[in-house]
């Protein structure tokens, strides 16, 4: 079953890279990020509603991912960036444990400690606490999912991950991808999180 899920997800991501148009350059995309409409299919989960932009390709839930999106690639890169949403109910580990695990999935080209460059931030969304971590470097991705499988180093990657303390349990949002494409997705990702609303879409 794990192999089937991993294969299905791989096909989805390859499909995203193959079908997406080359987007604008990094500077143009950063300017356009604030103008992207959050007009995708709403996701109701854990007592909140998350609405993505229709600009992201929506693959729906796959495996442990409650929602799964991809975007790009931007010109000069061959892989798409992805956003995954995880919800484990009352399980899945604490906020700090997951942030540490995410940082541990990144390494620096000079062999330094990724904690030294990881940016952390806390903010509120409708009274709910959100915990953000972001950094760039070598992403040690697992093709078997976030909990298992061999690690495949991917250079020049960027990650932004957010834990939202939702009414019915923590939600884990994770953006990863080649640095230019992922940073081009990051502004809209942050905006979509900031526009989460309490109450689930029907």
- The pLDDT of residue 20 is above 50: no
- C-alpha R_g of the chain: 16
> Considering the entire predicted model, what is its pTM?
0.83
At residue 144, the pLDDT reads: 53
- Residues 131-163: pLDDT tens digits? 999 999 999 977 555 455 677 899 999 999 999
- The pLDDT of residue 112 is above 70: yes
Where do we find the tokens 């700090």? 96
At residue 14, the pLDDT reads: 47
* Contact residues for 178 (Cβ-Cβ < 8 A; gap 6+): 72, 73, 74, 77, 78, 79, 81, 154, 156, 157, 158
Domain residues for the domain of 182 are: 2-198
CATH code at position 73: 3.40.1000.10
Q: At what angle do helices 26-33 and 179-194 cross, to 10 degrees?
A: 0
CA 149 – CA 143 distance, rounded (Å) = 6
- The pLDDT of residue 171 is above 60: yes
CA 195 – CA 69 distance, rounded (Å) = 17
At residue 186, the pLDDT reads: 97
Confidence of residue 77 (pLDDT cuts 50, 70, 90): very high
Number of domains in the chain: 1
């Amino acid at each position: 079953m794990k192999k089937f899920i991993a294969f299905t997800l791989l096909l989805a991501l390859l499909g995203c890279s193959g079908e997406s148009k080359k987007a604008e350059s990094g500077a143009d995309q950063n300017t356009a990020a604030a103008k992207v409409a959050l007009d995708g299919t709403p996701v109701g989960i854990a007592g909140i509603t998350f609405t993505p932009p229709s600009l992201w390709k929506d693959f729906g839930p796959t495996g442990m991912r409650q929602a799964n999106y991809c975007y790009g690639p931007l010109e000069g890169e061959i892989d798409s960036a992805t956003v995954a949403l995880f919800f484990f109910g009352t399980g899945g580990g604490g906020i700090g444990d997951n942030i540490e695990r995410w940082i541990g999935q990144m390494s620096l080209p000079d062999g330094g400690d990724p904690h030294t460059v990881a940016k952390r931030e806390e903010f509120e969304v409708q009274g709910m606490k959100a915990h953000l971590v972001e950094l760039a470097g070598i992403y040690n991705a697992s093709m078997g999912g976030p909990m298992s499988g061999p690690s495949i180093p991917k250079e020049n990657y960027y990650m932004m991950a957010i834990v939202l303390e939702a009414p019915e349990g923590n939600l884990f949002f994770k953006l990863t991808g080649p640095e230019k494409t992922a940073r081009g997705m990051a502004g809209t990702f942050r905006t979509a999180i900031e526009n989460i609303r309490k109450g689930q879409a029907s």
